[in-house]
Amino acid sequence: MAKIFIDPGHGGSDPGAVANGLQEKNLTLAIARHIREILLNEYQNVEVRMSRDRDVSVSLNERANMANRWGADFFLSIHNNAGGGTGFESFIHSSRPMRTRQLQQTIHRAIVQQLNVRDRGQKSANFAVLRLSRMPALLTENLFVDNANDAALLRRASVLQLIARGHVNGLASAFNLRRNQVYPPPPS
């Protein structure tokens, strides 16, 4: 049984990046819910928990602690970027072992393939949720809310679903998840 902990970034009094009429906290929650729904409906032997399922504040420490207490196999933190760029990038903590780097490569590749946007690379950072989680952990930055073209994409429900599908395709590959028989293979 694969135990996947999904962390929709920000929430409550912390909106995250805000631009072009978008708030990161709402986008990350929508993407995370799609990921959870796809995993639970289309795959076998997977459990999913989330740090938040509505617009509430959850501290960075508590996000990691929730995953640690549950004994998650993987911690996935969903974010949207800001700062004038475009595209997708992912982060792991620099102190993580090779297994985490391999998971990052698999999931990152699947997301880029699904989204077909600029690949900003696989990076490492000292983000609290990556540092404090005891299991392999990945933080994804899915398009830029302050880039007009990226923001236009983020306004489309179909694009949020594509982002989620990319994450799920990567997770399924990384954790050898088997599809339920009733679902056809995902679109490529």
Is 97:109 a contact under the CB 8 Å cutoff?
A: no
The pLDDT tens digits of the residues spanning 102-117 come to 999 999 999 999 999 9
The pLDDT tens digits of the residues spanning 66-104 come to 999 999 999 999 999 999 999 999 999 999 889 999 999
Whether 47 is a known active-site residue: answer no
Task: Specify the length of the chain in residues.
Answer: 188
Q: What percent of the chain lies above the pLDDT cut of 70? A: 97
Instruction: Tell me the three-class secondary structure of 14-82, residue by residue.
Output: ECCCEECCEEHHHHHHHHHHHHHHHHHHHECCEEEEECCCCCCCCCHHHHHHHHHHHCCCEEEEEEEEC
List helix spans (H) across 43-176: 60-70, 98-115, 128-132, 148-154, 157-174
Q: Model's pTM, two decimal places?
A: 0.95
Q: Which CATH code of 3.90.640.10, 3.40.630.40, 2.20.25.10, 3.40.50.2300 fits the domain covering 2-174? A: 3.40.630.40
Is 139:96 a contact under the CB 8 Å cutoff?
A: no
